[in-house]
Every structure is written in structure tokens, then in C-alpha cells.
């Protein structure tokens, strides 16, 4: 991984703010060579830097003239590693282009090569340099949380930082896997899933208790000791001691049956069945692997697929396929090594990592992960036995996912080519942005933007816009569209500047030379608007005002006669309205994009509306936090009762001072106060 074709990292993050656009943020500790390389570029610039570099370990960054980070690398010896770039021979086309574009370099030394490895991967994930292997799907994994901050612990799905006190079990490959497991665990251990505030305010058992999914600790349906035993059983099961738990339950069921307590025996029977249901949905469960992650890569046709299987407590907790962004000339071992170093940047590694191929600097990466985890972590390529079978299984899944992605990409390329021919474009679009609005009689109005490209829908670039303008008449779709487009393109101009060429004139080779990623450029080629002439006119007025009307092609999709799908009319500036044949693949493609934009806008609107519906009036009062809100609700029952309370009544609530009582009273009696 010390090669220029692959990355690494460092455990100490020097005040690194997230910079997903690849722009060089100023990190504490980075050093540049001052004026020694002024006016130089490419190999000459790198050679000038080499003279000042130490032989010790560290991390280097290569930047273009615009300050965008092209590449982040680590080295055992900065001087030797960087000098390789200046030799000008033996490089791939990718490295030659990277060296040619380099206009500036920055360096930071580390105490050890392990620290450099950790820092490198951290910076790659934050800066996303164009010439590094990039982990594109970087969503956090869901875990199961068994809380320890209440007398009656609950079981929950958890993502993100582990700030809440409790035991975490995972990772699980998907949220659906966690939901299925929690549902079964509820039936097996009868643990609560309500929040602490709901738990503390219950006066009678909830529906989950009635359907035998919760023991009802909130209202004393089960004693604290009995509930604690259920929690311990759940912890044992999730920790891998499932046979012990099942044996205990089976013995309790047998004893209840012998005592003719058939109702209690039936409860244990149902709990045992629920445990069996959990394990039956976990696929292959190895006998010799207690805790491990299995990585297998299939690399072909310039595309890499890495399949990851998660095994915890001897159980299969799901798998996920990744398609890292990497140059097609890289070997599979290099892609897998770079992927691994980034994968564990924000998640704890297991004790054992099994890989389908031996990666470069495997021992160094294992040492770095051990330091981060605070315990020994091993990385190995199994050669025989059950572990080898797991690798074969993961490899087969990687190959299948790779084939599906290639087929999807090929289909997408054909659709984009057909799209270009239909609308008279000189080349297939690389980025299509589709816009739609959603509201109910003008309330909770939102705008949605989805993005489609050469690999289908690019969901991490979707954007939502809460309509903020007070001057827009409720229900004015044209005004909403104008606001959305003004905000979107004003920001795009500020962050990326005006594109040098129009979409029809853009040269792919020129795009590559700028250091921009040609696969998903920041500027769209096409704006697809769900609407007719009025919507298109509103969009064009915004683009004309920003002087970027020639930078993008605007296409309006008007609903056809009787609003039937298949009879859409297309509005393009400079052309008469036209329709496509009902079974044209391009028409289906456009309908899919429009429907996706509609789904996204509707979902965003519903989420905002739901938030407004459950909004508590007490949240609007400064100084009212969760504790005071809980006290007020416990005392009065509802926020409406709080709003009707007098000053004397408010003063009787625990934690409410005279000044706070006056503030609450004035908030709900503003008219009378004036």
C-alpha cells in the first residue's frame, strides 16, 4: 500500500474537517516547501520537494492548481517514496496524469509507519482524492443496543456514535436484519422497545404487552428481578451463548409442564420458537468462527466488487457488496488493501479478518487495527477448512454482484445514449438532475432534487429544499421552483464556478485534465423538470438571471392527455413540443427518473409534516429541556393542560422556578400580556 496506486492512514486526525469535495483543508502540522518550488509543476516540482524531505515515515498530499487534493499517500520514507514520482518512467497512465497535474505538495511526518497508515486512510475518506481508491458506500452500520441507563433496560436499533451507555452488538449488514432480529428477540425475551420518557409516563400496559412482545416492566407486570433475568438471557444470547440460553429455557419449560403449569410452559415454548426463528434467518453459521469479517474481491473489466460477510458470536449477521472507485489498472490486491484501511476508519474491527487474497503490508495493517481496537486483530488468507469455505462463499457472492452491476451499467449506458439521440445531444449526459415539489395546499412545502448518472441513481447526491420564502403564495409551484433553482445554482456557482463549456461542447478529455471526476461532475448536463411550459419558463428565468442558461439543457416533462403515463409531452427550448412512442425505452427511463423524484419529494414532505404534527409547544420555550418538559407533562398530563395552567399551578411543578413559570405563562398568554 506504500505504492502510489494505493492508500493508508494515521490514528491522530489533525483537526481534519470533512471536505468531501476534495478541496485541500488546512490541517495543523502540514508543511509545504515554501518558495523552493515556486513556478514549477509536475516532475520538476516534485524533484524540488524531494531535496527537503526526511527519510522518516509520513503522509503526503498532491494538489492541483485549484487546490483540489489529487492523491493522499503514506510512506515508510517520504524522501524515497516521493522521489519515485519524479523519475518519469515506469508509471501507469493514471500516475503520469496525476504527476502532470500536481502543482503543489504538502507533507506531515509521523512517529511510525503505522501512524502514517492510519492517517492516510482517515484523510482519504475525508478528502476523497480523485486518484485514490475510494470507499463510495460509507453508510454507518446498524447495531443492536441493550441499554444500561435505566432500571429496566430496553433493546433498540442504533446507528452512529456510541454515546449511550449500554452493550452494543453488531455490526449487522442492514437495518432490515436488525429489525427482524429485534422483533424475534422481543418475542423471545419480552424486552421493552419504548423510550425512557414513554416508559416513565405509562400508567397501564401497552399493546406490545397484550400481544406478548413485552413483559410490561413499566407498570410492574413483571418484577425487577424477573426482568433483569430476561435481560441477562438476551445479553448471553447476543454474546454467543445461545445454547446455554436455550437449554435453560427448555429446562424451565419442562419443569413448568411437570408442575402442570401449562400456561407458563407455553410461554417458554413460544420464546424457544422465537430464538430458533432468529437463527434460521442467519444463513450459514460456522462452527469454528466466533467473531470475524470475511472480505472477498472479484475484479474484472475495470470494475471491482468486494463482498463483506459479518460473523459475530458464531452467527452470520448478514453481508453487503461494495463497489469501490478505483482505477481499472490496479491489481485486486491493491484495491482490497486500500479498501480495508478505509473500511475500519470509523468502526471497530473484529478479532479476525479473513481475506480472499494476501494484501500488501498485511502485517502493518493488522498492527494498526490492533492499536485502534486495543486488542489483537489478525488478517489472514485461509487455505483450507471451514474458513476457506467461507471465503469461497463470499467470492461467489462477489462474482454474482459484479455481474449484476456490469449488466445494470451496460443497460444504463444504452439508455443514456438513447436519451442523447432523442434530445439531439452531442454526447450521452453524465449527470441528470430531476426536480419536483411537494406540499398540501402550500403547507410544509419542500423541493426535491434527485441525480442520475452512468451508474444509475446517485442517492448520496440527492438534495431536499425546505421552501423558506415568505413572499411565495401558498401553492405557487412556479415560485417554489424558482426558489429551489436559485438556491441550487447560486451555491453551485459559488463552490465550483461556471463551467468552461456548455454540455454539448464539453470534451471528455478536457474534463479529465482539470482533475474533476468525469463520472459524476458537479455541474449537470440535463435539468429534468416535472411540469409544462410554466415550470420550464420559471426555471429558464432563474438560469438567465444567473447567466448560466447555456450551461445546462432544460427539459420539461408535461403530463399527457388525461394525465396518462405514456402520453407525456416534452418541452425543450428551441423545439416544438413532442411525444415519444408509448413503448420507447427512453420514455420508460424518463418516467423512472420522474417517479423517483416524485417519491423523494413526497417522502421529504411527509417527514416534515410528521415532524410538525408531533411538535410539542413546550419545545418552543427557551430553557425548557427534556427534564423540565417531562416534569410538566407528568404534572399536567398534556401540553394543552400546561398552556391553560395558572402561575400558581406552574410553581408547584418540580424544577420550575418563579422566573421559569412566568416565562411559560407568558408564552401561552402572549395576547393577554399585550
Q: pLDDT digit string (tens) for 427-462?
A: 899 999 999 888 776 677 888 899 998 888 888 889
Q: For position 27, what pLDDT does the model report?
A: 40
**Residue 674: CB atoms within 10 Å:** 6
Helix (H, G, I), strand (E, B) or coil at 243: helix
Residue 641 Rama label (left phi>0; alpha psi -120 to 50; beta) = alpha
| pLDDT confidence of residue 517 | 47
Q: Which of 74, 70, 80, 5 is nearest to 50 (CA)?
A: 80
Half-sphere exposure of 657 (CA within 13 A, CB side): 4
Name the phi and psi angles at 409, rounded to 5.
-65, -40
Instruction: Name the stretches of the chain with pLDDT < 50.
Output: 1-28, 33-34, 281, 283, 504-518, 672-674
Query: CA-to-CA distance for 516 and 110, rounded, in angstroms?
Result: 30
Domain with CATH 3.30.420.340 in the chain: 423-611
Q: Mapping DSSP to helix (H, G, I), strand (E, B) and coil, where does residue 592 land?
A: helix
Task: Give dist(CA 215, CA 193) in Å, integer.
Answer: 11
The per-residue pLDDT for 135 is 78
Alpha helix stretches (DSSP H) within 190-240:
196-201, 207-210, 224-238
Domain ranges in the chain with CATH number 1.10.150.20: 617-673
472 in helix, strand or coil? coil
The pLDDT value recorded for residue 235 is: 83
Q: For residue 35, what is the DSSP state? A: G
In the chain, list all ranges with CATH 3.40.1440.10: 34-127
What the block records as the C-alpha cell of 519 is 463520472
Q: Which helix (H) or strand (E) holds 62?
A: strand 58-63
Crossing angle, helix 262-280 and helix 175-189, to 10 degrees?
160
Helix or strand holding residue 428 (H, E)? none
In terms of Cα–Cα distance, which of 485, 476, 479, 473 is closest to 527?
485
Mean pLDDT of the chain: 79
**CA 584, 586, 587, 589: dihedral to nearest 10 degrees?**
130
Residue 514 confidence (pLDDT): 39
The architecture of the domain spanning 617-673 is Orthogonal Bundle (1.10)
pLDDT at residue number 614:
57
Q: How far apart are CA 666 and CA 69, in angstroms?
A: 54
Question: Which residues lie closer than 8 Å to 235 by C-beta, 6 or more apart?
Answer: 146, 167
CA geometry: angle at 59 spanning 54 and 65, to 5°?
Answer: 100
Question: DSSP assignment, residue 65?
Answer: T
The C-alpha cell of 30 is what? 502540514
- CB 635 within 8 Å of CB 645: no
Q: Which pairs with CB-CB distance under 8 Å and at least 24 residues apart come from 664-669?
A: 664/621, 664/624, 664/632, 667/620, 667/621, 668/617, 668/642, 668/643, 668/644
Query: Quick check: bond before 171 cis, omega within 30?
Result: yes
What stretch of H or E contains 445?
strand 443-453
Q: Name the class of domain 423-611.
A: alpha beta
Nearest 5°: phi and psi at 445?
-70, 135
Phi first, then psi: what are they for 107, rounded to 5°? -135, 150
**Secondary-structure percent of the chain, ordered helix, strand, coil, rounded to 5:** 45, 15, 40
Question: Phi and psi (nearest 5°) for 595?
Answer: -65, -35
Please give the grid coordinates belonging to residue 224. Answer: 425487577
Tally of CB atoms within 10 A around 446: 24
User: In this structure, are strands 292-300 and 155-158 parallel, antiparallel, or unpaired?
Assistant: unpaired
The CATH number given to 34-127 is: 3.40.1440.10
Q: What pLDDT, on a 0 to 100 scale, did the predictor assign at position 230? A: 85
Burial call 595-614: b when 16+ CB within 10 Å, e when fewer: ebbbebbeebbeebbeeeee
Amino acid at each position: 500500500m506504500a505504492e502510489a496506486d494505493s492508500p493508508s492512514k494515521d490514528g491522530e486526525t489533525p483537526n481534519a474537517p470533512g471536505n468531501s469535495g476534495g478541496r485541500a483543508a488546512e490541517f495543523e502540522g502540514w508543511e509545504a516547501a515554501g518558495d523552493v518550488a515556486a513556478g514549477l509543476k509536475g516532475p520538476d516540482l516534485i524533484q524540488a520537494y524531494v531535496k527537503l524531505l526526511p527519510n522518516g515515515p509520513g503522509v503526503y498530499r498532491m494538489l492541483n492548481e485549484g487546490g483540489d487534493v489529487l492523491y493522499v499517500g503514506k510512506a515508510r520514507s517520504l524522501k524515497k517514496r516521493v522521489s519515485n514520482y519524479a523519475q518519469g518512467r515506469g508509471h501507469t497512465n493514471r500516475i503520469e496524469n496525476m504527476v502532470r497535474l500536481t502543482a503543489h505538495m504538502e507533507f506531515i511526518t509521523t512517529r511510525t509507519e503505522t501512524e502514517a497508515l492510519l492517517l492516510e486512510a482517515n484523510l482519504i475518506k475525508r478528502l476523497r482524492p480523485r486518484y485514490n481508491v475510494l470507499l463510495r458506500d460509507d453508510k454507518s452500520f446498524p447495531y443492536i443496543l441493550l441499554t444500561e441507563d435505566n432500571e429496566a433496560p430496553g433493546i433498540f436499533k442504533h446507528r452512529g456514535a456510541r454515546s449511550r451507555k449500554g452493550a452494543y452488538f453488531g455490526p449487522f449488514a442492514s437495518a432490515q436484519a436488525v429489525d427482524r432480529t429485534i422483533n424475534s428477540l422481543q418475542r423471545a425475551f419480552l424486552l421493552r422497545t419504548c423510550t425512557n420518557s414513554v416508559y416513565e409516563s405509562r400508567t397501564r400496559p401497552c399493546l406490545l404487552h397484550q400481544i406478548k412482545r413485552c413483559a410490561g416492566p413499566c407498570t410492574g407486570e413483571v418484577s425487577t428481578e424477573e426482568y433483569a433475568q430476561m435481560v441477562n438471557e438476551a445479553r448471553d444470547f447476543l454474546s454467543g451463548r445461545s445454547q446455554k440460553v436455550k437449554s435453560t429455557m427448555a429446562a424451565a419449560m419442562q419443569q413448568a409442564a411437570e408442575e402442570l403449569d401449562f400456561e407458563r410452559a407455553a410461554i417458554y415454548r413460544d420464546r424457544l420458537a422465537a430464538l430458533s426463528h432468529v437463527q434460521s434467518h442467519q444463513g450459514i453459521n460456522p462452527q469454528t468462527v466466533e467473531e470475524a469479517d470475511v472480505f472477498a474481491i472479484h475484479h474484472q473489466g475495470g470494475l471491482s466488487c468486494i463482498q463483506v460477510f459479518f460473523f459475530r458470536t458464531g452467527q452470520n449477521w448478514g453481508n453487503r457488496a461494495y463497489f469501490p472507485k478505483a482505477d481499472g489498472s490496479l491489481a485486486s490486491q491493491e484495491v482490497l488493501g486500500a479498501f480495508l484501511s478505509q473500511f475500519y476508519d470509523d468502526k471497530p474491527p473484529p478479532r479476525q479478518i479473513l481475506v480472499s487474497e494476501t494484501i500488501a503490508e498485511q502485517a502493518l495493517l493488522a498492527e494498526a487495527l490492533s492499536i485502534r481496537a486495543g486488542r489483537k486483530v489478525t488478517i489472514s488468507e485461509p487455505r483450507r477448512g471451514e474458513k476457506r469455505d467461507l471465503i469461497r462463499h463470499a467470492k461467489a457472492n462477489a462474482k454474482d454482484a459484479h455481474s449484476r452491476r456490469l449488466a445494470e451499467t451496460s443497460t444504463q449506458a444504452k439508455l443514456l445514449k438513447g436519451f442523447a439521440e432523442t434530445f439531439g445531444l452531442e454526447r450521452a449526459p453524465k449527470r441528470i438532475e430531476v426536480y419536483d415539489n411537494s406540499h398540501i395546499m402550500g403547507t410544509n412545502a419542500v423541493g426535491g432534487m434527485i441525480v442520475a448518472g452512468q451508474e444509475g441513481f446517485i442517492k448520496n447526491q440527492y438534495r431536499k429544499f425546505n421552501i423558506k420564502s415568505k413572499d411565495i403564495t401558498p401553492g405557487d409551484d412556479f415560485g417554489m421552483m424558482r426558489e429551489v433553482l436559485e438556491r441550487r445554482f447560486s451555491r453551485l456557482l459559488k463552490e465550483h464556478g461556471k463551467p468552461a463549456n456548455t454540455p454539448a461542447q464539453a470534451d471528455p478529455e478536457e474534463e479529465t485534465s482539470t482533475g474533476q471526476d468525469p463520472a459524476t461532475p458537479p455541474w449537470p448536463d440535463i435539468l429534468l423538470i416535472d411540469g409544462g411550459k410554466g415550470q420550464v419558463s420559471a426555471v429558464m428565468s432563474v438560469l438567465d438571471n444567473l447567466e448560466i442558461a447555456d450551461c445546462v439543457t432544460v427539459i420539461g416533462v408535461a403530463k399527457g392527455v388525461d394525465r396518462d403515463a405514456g402520453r407525456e409531452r416534452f418541452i425543450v427550448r428551441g423545439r416544438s413540443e413532442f411525444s415519444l412512442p408509448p413503448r420507447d425505452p427512453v420514455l420508460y427511463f424518463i418516467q423512472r427518473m420522474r417517479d423517483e423524484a416524485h417519491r423523494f419529494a413526497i417522502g421529504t414532505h411527509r417527514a416534515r409534516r410528521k415532524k410538525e404534527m408531533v411538535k410539542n409547544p413546550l419545545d418552543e420555550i427557551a430553557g425548557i429541556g427534556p427534564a423540565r418538559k417531562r416534569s410538566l407533562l407528568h404534572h399536567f398530563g398534556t401540553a394543552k393542560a400546561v398552556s391553560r395552567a395558572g402561575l400558581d399551578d406552574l410553581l408547584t411543578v418540580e424544577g420550575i422556578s418563579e422566573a421559569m413559570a412566568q416565562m411559560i405563562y407568558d408564552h401561552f398568554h402572549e395576547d393577554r400580556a399585550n
